[in-house]
Each structure stands twice: as structure tokens, then as C-alpha cells.
Structure 1
Amino acid sequence: MDAYEALVTRVSPAILEEPAPDQETENKIIAAALRAPDHKRLRPWRFISIRGEALGKLGDIFAAAYRKKLPSASPEVIAREKKKPLRAPLILVVLAKIVEDANVPASDQKYSAAAAAQNIILASEALGFGAVWKTGDAASDPLIREALGVKANEEIVAYIYIGTVKARPNPPAALDVSEFLKSWPA
């Protein structure tokens, strides 16, 4: 699929299954992430790959973090948290790695990491896989951050779930560009 087609046809699939990208394809996906806009070439991102048995371990951590946050949570809710990482055969965690630089604010570095996450999604799509961007409480929970080895100068920007699309969802209705694009001055 060409890049423009990937951009204008991509939707978040509901179900992702095996196979996940193999290691060579995962490396290509990360190579695309590394081309994100990056002021002063600070490389303000880092990625963690989670697959196989590690997905179940991450589920245990998600469940423990939820139980710690809400001790009264029902066993059904805890079980649902534990299953979240199993929604796809590969998760790429995207971290903003904030570098101290007087000329590049932390916000710009976070935007660069977000652009890297978007490149992961688009590269996955272009290479024949589906990808879904998730964040939520798992992006900031201290127990999860510690388990993943997230450093003090890092923030989890995204959990990108990647796999083979079981059923491609219907694309949303096309939006009218003129509703979002205005010339200045008007």
C-alpha cells in the first residue's frame, strides 16, 4: 500500500490477531518511527516491544496496578484489565525521552514522540498490518512505569497494538476539508 493510501484509508481495527509482524518487519516499522520530525535531532523517543509470554506478564501488571488504584474493583473488572494486553500479538510502547535542551521545549519533544507513534501506525498499515493507539491510565500509572523501566525523564506516549486485522471496520464518512482548513488572514 502506498503512503497516501495508508494515510487516508486507515481506521482502528476492533480485532487484531496473529500473525504479528516478524522481527524484520518490526524493525522496518521502528525505522519509520525514527523518521519523525525531531528538532535538533535530539532523538527524544524510545520504544519497548512486547510480544508472546510478555503480553501475559504485562496483563498481570495492568491488573495489579488497577487493584492498587481501586481495591474495591470486582474480579470481573480486574480480569478485564489483565486481558487488555492480549488484544494484539504485539505491543510497541512509545516513550517520549525528554532531553534537557534550552532551545527545544519538552512539549516539542513529546510531539516528536507522538509523531513517531503515528509513523508506527502508518508503517504498520502500509506493511499489511493493523494498529491501534491506546493510552489511558496505563500510560501514567507508577507501578506500570516502574515495571517497564520508564525513567523519570520519560513519558509513555502510546501503547500501539499491532497485528493482523481480523475484520476491517467500515471507514468513517469522509470529512469536508473546508470545515477544518481556513486561510489567514480571512
Structure 2
Amino acid sequence: MDSKPDLARSDTLDLLRLRRSVPPINLDGPGPGAEELDAILTIASRVPDHGKLSPWRFLVIEGDGRLRVGELIAEAYAADNPGADAKRLDLERNRLAHAPLVVAVVSSAAPHVKIPEWEQVLSAGAVCMNLVVAANAAGFATAWLTEWFAYDRRVLDALGLDPREKLAGFIHLGRAREIPSDRPRPILSDIVTRI
């Protein structure tokens, strides 16, 4: 019996080879139900986590919550751009309204006596990627985005983030209306150094 893994034949590897972000404007419902979302978030949280700190958490933004958060985004944008027209403010207001569900991954990395803060940040990034892969494996399409408002303290405060917390990303989940063509990917010889 051959114990070597077959890298050419695996549903997981096929998923990873073909996974593609879908812009939120191309995501429709239905999104994951409560049980599906719980399963996706459970898988998302199974990441390397030195010290078992769980230096991240989830904000599930769904239904009218997407519009309430969108209003906060539009207000912050309008405050910084008093000349913004109604079309632009509507774009900002609807940033989270296209996909049926958005999960914000909050990084709560903090100084620790033993665990480097950088490792905690990387763990939050791993949570985002696990969430994307789990959602895709469950039949949903995703987009992992930040945008300007992920760095705007007014928006973060309104979302209830502690001053030391940051947004690792907004993961938009839905059903792909269309899958965009693949983008150019790195050439291995350009990014791999063998020592």
C-alpha cells in the first residue's frame, strides 16, 4: 500500500487550486443558515494559536445589521468628504449590503509575556483563510476584504472593538452570481528560494 499522498487527487486540493474570490456585488443569497454558519466558524477557529490565546473573535453582520453598519460607514465617509455626492455616499452605505452575510474577523492581538504579538496577528489571518476555505467547501463564494473603513477608528468603535483591537478583514459570504476569471498567479520560480 502506497502511503504517499496523491497531490493530484484530492477534493481539498482541488478546492484550494480553484478557489477564487468573488466580488461582493456578485454575491446573492441565500447565505449560510445558523447551523451552517456555526460549522464554518468552528472550522475557522481551528488554527495555529500559540499559547491557546484565541486572539481573535467574530462579528456576524447580517440582515438589517448590514445596513446599520453601512450607515456608520457612510457617516464617517461624509464627515471626511463633505463634498461627496449622493451616489458616492450610497456606495459607501451599501459596502456590506451586497452579500447576504458578512463576518468581520477581529484581531485582539496584545503584548504577552511569552507569545509574540506578531504570532497572534498571524493566527487571526489564519482564521480568515480557514473561514474562506470552509465557506467555499460548503458551497458558498467569498471575498475577504478590508477597505478603508476597516482602519477607521470611528467605525471600529461603533462596532464595539476595544481600542487595541483591529479588523483582520470582512469576509463576505453568499452564492456566486458569476465567478470572475482567474487572475495571474505568482510564478514559483519568482517566489521560491531553496537553501
Could you state the TM-score of these two structures normalised by the residue count of structure 2? 0.89
Q: Report the more deviating stretch, 167-176 or 19-28.
A: 167-176
Q: Deviations over 1:35-76 (max 9, x none)?
A: 111111111000000111111111111100111122222222
The separation in 2 between residues aligned to 1:180 and 1:12, in whole angstroms, is: 22
Alpha-carbon spacing, 1:174–1:97, altered in 2? closer, same or farther (3 Å): closer
Partner of 1:145: 156
The separation in 2 between residues aligned to 1:171 and 1:98, in whole angstroms, is: 33
How many correspondences in the alignment?
A: 184
Give the unaligned 5+ runs of structure 2: 1-9
Give the residue type in structure 2 aligned to 1:37: P
Percent identity between the aligned chains?
29
Structure 1 position 102 matched with structure 2 position 116? no
The separation in 1 between residues aligned to 2:135 and 2:14, in whole angstroms, is: 13
Q: 1:130–1:162: 8 Å Cα contact kept in structure 2?
A: yes
Please give the secondary structure, in 2, of the residue aligned with 1:159: strand
Partner of 2:17: 8
Q: Deviations over 1:5-60 (max 9, x none)?
A: 22111111131110001111111111111111111111100000011111111111
Structure 1 position 46 matched with structure 2 position 60? no
Which protein shows a greater Rg?
2
Alpha-carbon spacing, 1:41–1:20, altered in 2? closer, same or farther (3 Å): same
Q: 1:20–1:162: 8 Å Cα contact kept in structure 2?
A: yes
User: Root-mean-square deviation (CA), in Å?
Assistant: 1.5
Give the unaligned 5+ runs of structure 1: none
